[in-house]
Amino acid sequence: MITKEDKGKTTVIIYTQDYTNEVHTFPCENNFHTIPNDPTNKYHKTIQKALQQCDRIFNKKQIKHLPHKIPSPPTLNALLKLHKPNIPIRPVINNRNARAYKTAKKLNTFFNNHLHSDNKYVTINSKTLTNELIKLKSNNKHRMLTLDVKDLCVNIPIRETTDITRTQLITNNDIQTTNQIITLLEIILGQNYFCFQGQIYQLDKGMAMGSPISGTIAEIFLQQLEKNSHEASYSLQELNLLH
């Protein structure tokens, strides 16, 4: 079969069975389990019921047009990481036909417009980061390091993240609006399953992969984690760190 590399424009020719084996390694290592039945219809009813109670964030016309007429389970496509040992995959989940896709997209727009983080360590883009680094005063005792989160979506704690989100929302919204948003958010993030070669996989933890809102929610958690780390007992000056 012919597929693509994770980074770059390289075309990869690989035996279909080898590709399948690589893909099956991912759910095994990330606490996915197989389920016998497609839960799409169950989620369809759950989110439909929740939308009917979200009159403070959506109008009747929006609620009517947010559902997919014929929803289908998210599907998995895998990009091969040729630059890493054993060629692991980067999972790409297609959520466009999933029941919660349009709702998640709409809610994500709401978050981007109404949630304004006060985290001063967030950078806008790589150009801004470069300019900030140029102005940084350092000496030969300083060390620069970068941190990465392995398999981000499957390692974000849902309960803790929704609690953080609720705290941020309640500062600018009444309790009923906040409760409607959080209820809908929990349903969206809980739809963390996908289909590959006719088999349905569901995640034991973490949030929905490929959802339009997952990146924003991950950022909310990581910013709070970063903020908490700076409020620890050791100051950055004591650790001789520049941030």
Confidence (pLDDT) at 180: 92
Confidence (pLDDT) at 117: 63
Chain centroid to CA 240? 33
Please check whether residue 225 is in contact with residue 156, taking contact to mean a CB–CB distance below 8 angstroms: no
Q: Which residue reads 């016998």 in tokens? A: 36
How many angstroms separate the CA atoms of 18 and 26, rounded? 13
Instruction: Using CA atoms of 154, 155, 158, 159 in order, give the dihedral in degrees to the nearest 10.
Output: 150
pTM: 0.78
How many angstroms separate the CA atoms of 6 and 47, rounded? 33
Confidence (pLDDT) at 243: 47
Confidence (pLDDT) at 230: 66
Per-residue pLDDT tens listing for the chain (243 residues): 888 888 778 888 889 998 888 888 888 777 788 999 999 888 888 888 899 998 988 888 888 888 777 888 999 888 888 888 888 888 888 888 888 898 999 999 888 877 766 666 677 788 888 888 888 887 888 777 777 777 777 788 888 999 999 998 888 888 999 999 999 999 888 888 899 888 899 887 777 788 889 888 888 888 888 777 766 544 545 545 444
Confidence (pLDDT) at 81: 86
Residue 163, amino acid: D
How many angstroms separate the CA atoms of 192 and 209, rounded? 6
Confidence (pLDDT) at 116: 66
Confidence (pLDDT) at 242: 47
How many angstroms separate the CA atoms of 189 and 178, rounded? 16
